[in-house]
Amino acid sequence: MDVAVLVNLRSRRGSRRVAELARAELPHARVIASRSLADTEGFIRDLQRSAPDLVISAGGDGTAVGLINALRPANELSELPIGLLPLGTGNGWANATRAPKWKEGLARVGALARQRSPISTKRFDLVEVCGRIAPFAGTGWDAELIDDFHAQKTGIGVLPKKAREGVAGYLQGLLTRTFPRHLFATEPLEVELINTGEDAFTIDETGRPAPLPGGESGRLLYRGPAGVCGAATSPEWGFGFKAYPFAKAMPRRMSVRVYAAGAVEAIAHTRDLWRGVHPIPKMHTWQLTQCKMVFSRPMPFQIGGDRHGHVTEVEYRIADETVNVLDWPRIGPLGRA
């Protein structure tokens, strides 16, 4: 089995040690420890010259999103299986594929290669936005929180600096920076959501998709306040935060959500929001193929967990492409598929 492994040394847990273990578990694999964009581009060119049987993306969400977008122009996505190993900060997409920790993941892939077992995959839909494809994207607190997470690492905070990585750092950024900013905001954000695709579905109180009366193409689905709004085909945003619990409720549909509560109410419902509880007050959910959001002021915007500037208008659609992701639950500890 021909395996290629991309280890992002700039991801939170990326290191030469990961690359060395990958070479030990997969002695015939193409392994690159990437420290720069040029390294990654060289890896992509090699894949395009000679496609492997399996690509392992060892990094965070940004690593995997960068990889699939680099492969997209060459039409490599439809047939090339990709395994996600969590070395990043949030690892939302890897968690959604139920990926194990990186050491166990490499051991499983190594056993799979030695036994020459079939590669078990699942087809994963994607969101297309701003010319890129990703498992999730959005505006509002989630995009701001990325900046606030990095700012709190060195700024004033309750936690000691060595404890500001991971979920603790995100919570500190959320509670000391993101929420206070919205709590004292003088200009609340408003958004208009217009359906530009097939007839809309919503999620009923039992958690089941249901046709939305008045949800035809061209109809205004929502106008009002918004703290967070975005679209996803992956249930998780990172750290087990199930921001889009109905992302897999309908094939070839993306889950679009708007959370209209203010900062105080959001803090009170943090636990339920994290767990993806439904229904929850002021959370609006649709299952759409395409839509447009128009904001009352410029908003920070993230694609796959990486900031992409500010937007006043954004269009989402279900991407034509899908990705075959490694089905980790079927790749057992001994590599049995």
- Decide yes or no: CATH 3.30.465.10 for domain 132-322: no
Q: 48 pLDDT band (50/70/90 cuts)?
A: confident
Residue 318: predicted pLDDT: 98
pLDDT of residue 233: 98
Mean residue pLDDT of the chain comes to 89
H helices present in 15-77, as ranges? 16-25, 37-49, 61-71
Average pLDDT over residues 21-47: 92
Q: What is the mean pLDDT of residues 16-23?
A: 97
What pLDDT, on a 0 to 100 scale, did the predictor assign at position 134?
Answer: 97
pLDDT, mean of residues 141-168? 71
Hey, where are the domains in the chain? 3-124+324-330, 132-322
- Give the range among 85-99, 175-189, 203-217, 314-328 with minimum mean pLDDT: 175-189
Q: Buried b vs exposed e over 109-141: b needs ≥16 C-beta within 10 Å?
A: bbbbbeeebebbbbebbbbbbeebbbbbbbbbb
Q: How confident is the model at residue 266 (pLDDT cuts 50, 70, 90)?
A: confident
What global pTM score does this model have? 0.88
**What pLDDT score does 296 carry?**
95
Q: Alpha-carbon distance 155 to 298, whole Å?
A: 25
Which range is most confident: 40-54, 64-78, 101-115, 178-192?
101-115
The mean pLDDT of 246-268, rounded to a whole number, is 92
Q: What is the reported pLDDT for 182? A: 64
The pLDDT confidence band at residue 73, using thresholds 50, 70 and 90, is confident
CA angle 321, 324, 327 (to 5 degrees): 150
Is residue 336 very low, low, confident or very high in pLDDT (cuts 50, 70, 90)?
low
Q: At residue 287, does pLDDT exceed 90?
A: yes
Residue 55 · residue 29 · CB < 8 Å: no
Listed range (260-269, 281-290, 307-316) with the worst mean pLDDT? 260-269
d(CA 143, CA 245): 19
In terms of pLDDT, which residue wins out, 146 or 43?
Answer: 43
**Quick one: pLDDT at residue 150?**
63
Check pLDDT > 80 for residue 149.
no
Q: pLDDT tens digits, residue range 167-199? A: 677 667 677 777 777 666 657 789 999 999 999
Mean pLDDT computed over 225-243: 91
Q: What is the pLDDT of residues 94-131, one digit of tens each?
A: 999 999 999 999 999 999 999 888 899 999 999 999 99
Mean pLDDT for the stretch of residues 189-216: 97
Mean pLDDT computed over 302-324: 93
Fold of 3-124+324-330: Rossmann fold (3.40.50)
- Across the chain, how many H-helices and E-strands are there? 10, 16
Q: Specify whether the CB–CB gap between 54 and 1 falls below 8 A.
A: yes
Q: How would residue 87 be classed by pLDDT, with cut points 50, 70 and 90?
A: very high
**Which whole number is the average pLDDT over 295-315?**
91
Of the listed ranges 14-23, 52-61, 168-177, 191-200, the least confidently predicted one is 168-177
Task: Give the confidence band of 6 by pLDDT, cuts at 50, 70, 90.
Answer: very high
